[in-house]
Structures are given as structure tokens and as C-alpha cells.
């Protein structure tokens, strides 16, 4: 039988139990229920908002956020195109590109990263690290860099600095391979092996364009005019990079590659040897005559190809464009001038083509001639002369020329100016080419037709001037000058520039007659049958040409100056077998006493070089004597 635990005896308290307090109405119990409801509502709303945001992030924004996160690990890399080369007609390089690297650093970031990773390089301070970098760069680059400057750059607080912007790829790889914090930027360095030879034609290119990162952009000359063809089209690729490690590319991550399209190679009609010689001769002659400036052009008679286009004041594209090395323009095509008597070829051609005269026609040439409100004089004093048309041209009579122009008439003369290409760009392809100026015939006054026939009141470039003589030497057919011979595409195919269609300006017979008549310009004889350009003559060759002198406008008086002249000469080598036309302009030579003949000796020197360089056949015959002035009775 189980044992029972005896019950404890009850102990009675002598103190009665306390009574429960009665709650006061309206103090606590009245507000507890609404607060609880509000709290539950807020909690539910918060859970609903969090749920909606989770659905939005995981559902609707998942793709965009994933792509954004992925982009943080992807880096687009430009693939620069190789810029095309520029060569002369014989393949001599005038411009080409070489790949280089620009080394850079981010000092502020480098210092921060070095401190954060101190445990990875115990005992090596940031100062020691930068000194090691500088030691390697000075060892590999030598005098190309300055050690103290590099050290100051690396120890600065700059966010970005270039350390050296012209480092060969091999040396750059050694530096960046040993020091990952040094970055390398792809660049392309343009080289001009002929220095200033043809620089006014070729121009200058910088290392990139902002619109196409990594590409080279042309600044002047053909580098600018043909930039689209030369530069090609940059490509790109996507790579993965290691974040926090200077964006180092992860090997094998390259994808989405769009290959660059290399630029086209351009071959010019220029002959580098001829260009060099003409530049040298022009430089020497400008200095000798103390001219302000000078230009010259050598053009093939039959094709219009330009073999040389020179200015005395040019630049070296391999040197900084500072100080005296800043004249990147090409005044041979950009600066028109009043040609003076060299333009009398238009009046003569018009008169011969109309059949109103022949070279032997004799006309009365008085001491002066009144045309409208102008009185015309010749450059020398004479009485009433009877001059042949050949004499009017060879002795450069303004009076006789105006008399011939009156026989031709304004409209016929104006039409021939247009056919000769004056007042319009030649289309040679060089930037900044001027069209010159020819007043519209509807705006002519009586005095306009007094000045135009002997080369005043209109303007032209050296290239336009040479083009008129090319037309006469080519049997009366003008061929627009060109300077681009061919273009080689990236696939190796060669596209030859077609020869421009010829424009007949005068009849073949007229051109032949005028060409023979122009031989008289170099005739050396006793007065009055002496001509204006005997110093242009070249032994063994019969030279056809014309001298010219035009008064310049005085900027102070805005009228023609009595002391400032533009001197010209246009010549053909040779009259018997035309091959080259040479046009020369000298601005304001100081030797005013002989200004009418100043450019003729320079033509002689250029022609002598051309005859030897291109083995032009000589002749044993001498030019026949021409009578310019009939004997006085």
C-alpha cells in the first residue's frame, strides 16, 4: 500500500489580503487597442513595400542590374587604324606612321593602393617604389626623360600624369611588365623623312582625333584634305579587366572584335628631287633679290601633273610649330596676286585666235594711249613706233596690248579668261585653294577693259598662271593641274587618278603660232629689238615664255604703288618639244631697277636642272631673229 505524504498544516495569516485596485476608466485601456491596430497596419505596409521592391529587383530589374554589374568587369578597348603613307611619284616616302606608347601614371591612386596593400610588400616604402620605377625608366630611356621630374610626378598628388609620350612598344612593355601601376596608351607617331621638302604640300598630322580615339588626325596640307582616306577607321574590342589592379586586361577575354580598317596610301605626282631643287633655288633667289616671298610651280605640259610646288617660306613638320617654324600654309595656291604682263598671253591668244592679227602684223604704238578715263603708258619712253605683234608681246608694250584688246572686244576677251580657268579653283586637291578674282563683265567700266589686258584689275595664283601657259604649250588644250597620282586601298588595289578632261581654249594653229612667237621674249639683240627676258635663255634649248611686273596696292594709300611690285615669269621648256611649264612669282623684290627681269634668271636655273634631270633632248638650231620695231623712216 502506497505511503501517503502527510498534508502540511495550514498557517493562518493574521494580516488580511490586500484588495485589488480598481482601474480608472479612460487612462490606459481606452487607447491600447487603436495603437495596436495602427502598429499592425504599419508593419504590414512595410512588409508589402519590401516585398514589392524585392519583386521589382529580382524580377523586373534583374537583367539591367546584372548587365550593369557585368559592365564593371568589362572594358571597351579601341583598336586604332594604321594611317596611310604619302609618297612621291617614285615611291619616296614623304610621310608615314610608327607605333609608339605614351606612359602614364595615377599618383594619388598609386599611393593609396600601396598603403592599402602594405602587407604584400613589407619594408618597401612608396618612396622606394617610385625611385625604382624612375631608375628603370632612366636606364631604358636615357636622355629622353628627366629623372627628378619623373620622381616629382610620381610622388605628387595628381590624379593623372604623362611620364613620356613617345616610347617604343618594346621599351614600354618592359616598364609596364615590371611595374603594373604604370599604364601605356597606344599612339601613332607621324614621321616626315624629307623634313621641309614638300611640307607645304604634305602638311602635318597630330597623333589622334577626339572623335576617333587612337586615330591620327590631319592638321594642314594633304594630311588634312585627305584625312578620311589616310586615317582609315578605328576598330574596337571588349575585354575583361581586373578591377583594382590598374584595369589589367585578363588574357583570353577579348571578344566582340571589330577590326580596324587601315588608311589608304597616297602617291603624289611630286618628284622629291625636283621639289627639293626648286625649293633651294627659290630660297636662294628670294634672298638674293631681297624679295618678301616667292613661289614656283613645275607642271607637265601634257598631263597637268605637278612635279614641284614650292614656297620659299615653309616649315619642318618634324619640329615644334613655334618661332619661325609656323608657316604651314601653301601660298602657291592660297595667295592670289595681280599678275601684270605675264597675263598678256590672254590678249595675244584672243587676237590670234580671232584672226585679227598675225605675229608679223604691224601696228602703230604711240607714246601714250587714252582709254576711257585712263592714260596708258609703256615702261619705257618711246615715240610713235610701228611695232610687230610679236614685238608688242616680247617688249611687253601696254599700249600695243590695249590696242589689240580693242580689236578683240570685251566679250571675246572675257570668254577666253574663263576658258583659261581664271576666277575658278583648279581643283588640284590642296586645301585653302583660292579661285583668284576676275570682275564680272556686267560690272566693267570703260577703264576696266583698259587695265585687264595687261594684267591689272584681276588676280590669280601661281598655279593658275602656269595653267594658262600649259594650255598654249599643249596645243590649245588646258588640262587642270593635279597632285594626286594614285591611291592604294587597304586590300592592295591601286586606284589611279584619271587625267582631267581637257578644255580647248584656242585652236591648235593659234597655240602653235603663239608658242613660236613667245621665243622672242628671250631674244638678245640691240635696241629696239631687245626683249624683256634674255636671261631666261638656256643654251641648247629654245625657251618660250613671258615676263611680268605688276604694281602692288599700297596699304597706306589704297592705290597702286610706285615702288612695290610683284614680279612673275612663266616659261615653257622647250618651244620645240614642250615638256614642262614653270611659273614663278616674287613678291616685292628690292632690286626695283631690274624688276621686269628679276624672275627670268631663276627660270633659267630651274630649266637647266629640269633639262639635265629628265634628259630632255637639246637642239642645235637657234631661235630665228624677230623684228619687233620697224625702222624709223
Which residues are the active-site residues?
341
Which of helix, strand or coil describes residue 310? strand
The closest of 516, 518, 540, 541 to 531, measured between CA atoms, is: 518
Residue 148 φ/ψ, nearest 5 degrees: -60, -40
Take residue 20 and report the three cell numbers written for it: 485589488
CA angle 449/454/455 to nearest 5° reads 90
Take residue 76 and report the three cell numbers written for it: 571597351
Tell me, rounded to whole angstroms, the distance of Cα 583 from its chain centroid: 23
Q: What torsion do the CA atoms of 275, 276, 280, 283 make, to the nearest 10 degrees? A: 50
Q: What torsion do the CA atoms of 235, 240, 244, 246 make, to the nearest 10 degrees? A: -30
DSSP 8-class letter at 101: E
- Return d(Cα 183, Cα 105) in angstroms, integer: 6
Which of helix, strand or coil describes residue 463? helix
Residue 617 φ/ψ, nearest 5 degrees: -65, 130
The closest of 322, 399, 301, 305 to 89, measured between CA atoms, is: 305
Helix axes 272-289, 600-613, angle to 10 degrees: 160
Other beta carbons within 10 angstroms of residue 304's beta carbon come to 25
SS (H, E, C) 544-583: EEEEEEEEEEECCCCEEEEEEEEEEEEEEECCCCCCEEEE
Length of the chain: 633
- In DSSP terms, 581 is beta-bridged to 299, 572
Q: What is the CA radius of gyration of the chain?
A: 43
Contact of 280 with 274, CB cutoff 8 Å: no
- Return d(Cα 563, Cα 468) in angstroms, integer: 28
- Return d(Cα 156, Cα 147) in angstroms, integer: 14
Residue 563 φ/ψ, nearest 5 degrees: -125, -15
- Return d(Cα 131, Cα 485) in angstroms, integer: 54
- Return d(Cα 595, Cα 566) in angstroms, integer: 9
Contact of 464 with 422, CB cutoff 8 Å: yes
- Return d(Cα 395, Cα 393) in angstroms, integer: 6
Contact of 397 with 387, CB cutoff 8 Å: yes
Cβ burial, residue 10 (10 Å; 0-12/13-18/19+):
exposed
Task: Give the residue ranges of DSSP H helices in 19-168.
Answer: 32-55, 62-71, 107-116, 126-141, 147-154
Amino acid at each position: 500500500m502506497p505511503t501517503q505524504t502527510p498534508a502540511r498544516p495550514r498557517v493562518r495569516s493574521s494580516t488580511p489580503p490586500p484588495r485589488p485596485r480598481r482601474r480608472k476608466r479612460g487612462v490606459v485601456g481606452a487607447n491600447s487597442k487603436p495603437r495596436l491596430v495602427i502598429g499592425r497596419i504599419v508593419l504590414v505596409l512595410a512588409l508589402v513595400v519590401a516585398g514589392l521592391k524585392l519583386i521589382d529587383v529580382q524580377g523586373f530589374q534583374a537583367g539591367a542590374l546584372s548587365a550593369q554589374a557585368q559592365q564593371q568587369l568589362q572594358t571597351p578597348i579601341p583598336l586604332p587604324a594604321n594611317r596611310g603613307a604619302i609618297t612621291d611619284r617614285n615611291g619616296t616616302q614623304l610621310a608615314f606612321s610608327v607605333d609608339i606608347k605614351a606612359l602614364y601614371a595615377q599618383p594619388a591612386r598609386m599611393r593609396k593602393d600601396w598603403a592599402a596593400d602594405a602587407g604584400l610588400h613589407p619594408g618597401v616604402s612608396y618612396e622606394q617604389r617610385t625611385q625604382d620605377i624612375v631608375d628603370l625608366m632612366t636606364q631604358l630611356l636615357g636622355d629622353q626623360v628627366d629623372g627628378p621630374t619623373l620622381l616629382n610626378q610620381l610622388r605628387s598628388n595628381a590624379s593623372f600624369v604623362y611620364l613620356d609620350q613617345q616610347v617604343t612598344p618594346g621599351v614600354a612593355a618592359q616598364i609596364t611588365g615590371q611595374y603594373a601601376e604604370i599604364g601605356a596608351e597606344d599612339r601613332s607617331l607621324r614621321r616626315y623623312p624629307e623634313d621641309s621638302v614638300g611640307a607645304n604640300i604634305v602638311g602635318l598630322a597630330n597623333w589622334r582625333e577626339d572623335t576617333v580615339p587612337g586615330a591620327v588626325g590631319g592638321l594642314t596640307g594633304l594630311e588634312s584634305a585627305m584625312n578620311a582616306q589616310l586615317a582609315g577607321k578605328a576598330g574596337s574590342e571588349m575585354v575583361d579587366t581586373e578591377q583594382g589592379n590598374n584595369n589589367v586586361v585578363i588574357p583570353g577575354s577579348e571578344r566582340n572584335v571589330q577590326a580596324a580598317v587601315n588608311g589608304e596610301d597616297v602617291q603624289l605626282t611630286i618628284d622629291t628631287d625636283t621639289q627639293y631643287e626648286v625649293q633651294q633655288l627659290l630660297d636662294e633667289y628670294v634672298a638674293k633679290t631681297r624679295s618678301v616671298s616667292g613661289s614656283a610651280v613645275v607642271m607637265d605640259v601634257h598631263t597637268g601633273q605637278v612635279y614641284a610646288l614650292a614656297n620659299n617660306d615653309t616649315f619642318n613638320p618634324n619640329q615644334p610649330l613655334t618661332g619661325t617654324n609656323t608657316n604651314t600654309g601653301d601660298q602657291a595656291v592660297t595667295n592670289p596676286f595681280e599678275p601684270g604682263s605675264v597675263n598678256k598671253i590672254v590678249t595675244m591668244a584672243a587676237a590670234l585666235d580671232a584672226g585679227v592679227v598675225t605675229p608679223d602684223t604691224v601696228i602703230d604704238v604711240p607714246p601714250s594711249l587714252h582709254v576711257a578715263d585712263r592714260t596708258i603708258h609703256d615702261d619705257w619712253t618711246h615715240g610713235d613706233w610701228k611695232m610687230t605683234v610679236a614685238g608688242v608681246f616680247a617688249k611687253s608694250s601696254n599700249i600695243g596690248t590695249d590696242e589689240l584688246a580693242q580689236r578683240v572686244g570685251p566679250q571675246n576677251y572675257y570668254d577666253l579668261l574663263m576658258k583659261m580657268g581664271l576666277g575658278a579653283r583648279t581643283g588640284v586637291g590642296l586645301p585653302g585653294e583660292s579661285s583668284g578674282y576676275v570682275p564680272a563683265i556686267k560690272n566693267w567700266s570703260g577703264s576696266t577693259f583698259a587695265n585687264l589686258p595687261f594684267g591689272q584689275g584681276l588676280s590669280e595664283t601661281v598655279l593658275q598662271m602656269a595653267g594658262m601657259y600649259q594650255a598654249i604649250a599643249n596645243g590649245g588644250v588646258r588640262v587642270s593641274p593635279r597632285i594626286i597620282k594614285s591611291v592604294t586601298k587597304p586590300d592592295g588595289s591601286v586606284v589611279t587618278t584619271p587625267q582631267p578632261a581637257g578644255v580647248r581654249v584656242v585652236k591648235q594653229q593659234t597655240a602653235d603660232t603663239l608658242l613660236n612667237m613667245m621665243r622672242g621674249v628671250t631674244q638678245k639683240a640691240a635696241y629696239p629689238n631687245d626683249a624683256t627676258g634674255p636671261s631666261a635663255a638656256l643654251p641648247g634649248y629654245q625657251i618660250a615664255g613671258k615676263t611680268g611686273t605688276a604694281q602692288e596696292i599700297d596699304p597706306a594709300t589704297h592705290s597702286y604703288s610706285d615702288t612695290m611690285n610683284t614680279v612673275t615669269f612663266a616659261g615653257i621648256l622647250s618651244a620645240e618639244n614642250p615638256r614642262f611649264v614653270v611659273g614663278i612669282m616674287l613678291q616685292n623684290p628690292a632690286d626695283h631697277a631690274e624688276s621686269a627681269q628679276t624672275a627670268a634668271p631663276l627660270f633659267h636655273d630651274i630649266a637647266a636642272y629640269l633639262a639635265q634631270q629628265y634628259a630632255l633632248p637639246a637642239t642645235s638650231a637657234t631661235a630665228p631673229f624677230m623684228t619687233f620695231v620697224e625702222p624709223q623712216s
